[in-house]
A and B are shown apart, each in its own frame.
Chain A
Amino acid sequence: MAEGYEFPVDRTQVMLFARSLRDIRPEYSDPDHPATKAIGGMTVPPTFVQCSAHWEPNYALDITRPRILPGKDARPQREGGGGGGGLGRGLHAEQHYEYHHPILVGDTLSVTMRPGERWEKQGRRGGKLLFSESITEYRNQDGVLCVTARSVGVQTERAVEQ
């Protein structure tokens, strides 16, 4: 059930994301810096592909995004109630990336997602735990696979005890 969308790698977005991680290295924002030229152009932090969420249609965790109903007048859908698996009891359990080819500022990535494994386990801290994987592939405008991301989410029966 692969569904695809485009994710343009914009210089401002890369700068904002790097800054949010307190990262000001020049390769993420300054095209003229010698360090940037040495690697062939501005690139992105290792976890930058998370920003594809901004371009993902119906991304469940952007709960205030105005929604347009297909086939209806262009007006926002009700806000909130994202209904995604991540709200409330959902937690991010694991995240894994494989880097196949550099992502450069100016690339337009094609993003495809597919579900992976699902499993269940009895947790010590949060009762029954339901795990599910999703696999996302990011290909550049030349069709070259740049990053494979594997995300594992977990639904807990109650708040995870500290």
Chain B
Amino acid sequence: MVALKVGDTHEAVVIEGVNRSHIVKYAGASGDFNPLHHDDGVAKGLAGYPSIFAHGMFSMGLTGTMLTDWLGPVALKKYGVRFSKQVWPGDTLTAKAEVTAVAGGLATIKVTTVNQNGEAVVEGEAVAAAG
């Protein structure tokens, strides 16, 4: 377990160059076969997007690997995010964490994942055992 204090930070590049194979693999593993994430015909034609894009949960899951690589796989008590921007094929994602409070043995951690342009794609908060 990692001993956490206010101001501690951690970050990791969680994926370089998202490609369609990554997205399709996530679809198969998770069971989410929404065609917006693998069928350009649906994404462009029916829904009006420039192409398919990754599942929000793919970005949240990748962001989760930054947290578990840092804190271990059983430290999290809460983990929640808002999907701020879509992740497109070609994007590179960096997940960042900062401890904003520690109380009662629990650390509150601000979580932000940005794309290669520095735009937030996932923003949220985790609570973990403070160690």
Contacts and interface: CB of A to CB of B under 8 A. Distances in A.
Interface of A: 13, 16-17, 19-23, 25, 27-28, 39, 43, 45-47, 50-51, 53-54, 59, 61-64, 86-99, 102, 150, 158-160, 162
Contact of A159 (B48, B56, B76): B48
Interface stretch (B3-11, B23-31, B96-104): B23-31
Contacts of B31: 50-51, 53-54, 59, 61-62
A124 to B, nearest CB: 12
A87 to B, nearest CB: 6
B123 to A, nearest CB: 10
Contacts of A97: 76, 78-80
Contacts of B86: 160, 162
A88 B34 CA distance: 9
Contacts of B124: 96
A25 B69 contact: yes
Interface in B22-49: 22, 25-26, 28-36, 42, 46-49
Interface residues of B, number: 46
Contacts of A93: 82-83
A21 B83 contact: no
A14 to B, nearest CB: 10
A43 B48 contact: no
A95 B57 contact: yes
A30 to B, nearest CB: 12
B68 interface: yes
Contacts of A20: 22, 25-26, 28-30, 58, 61
Contact of A95 (B33, B60, B77): B60
A62 B32 CA distance: 6
B30 A46 contact: no
B65 A95 contact: no
B99 to A, nearest CB: 17
Contacts of A54: 31
A159 B36 CA distance: 11
A61 B72 CA distance: 31
Contacts of B26: 20-21
A160 B85 CA distance: 9
A53 B47 contact: no
A28 B49 CA distance: 35
Give the 3 A-B CB pairs with smallest separation, nearest first: A96-B80, A159-B48, A53-B31
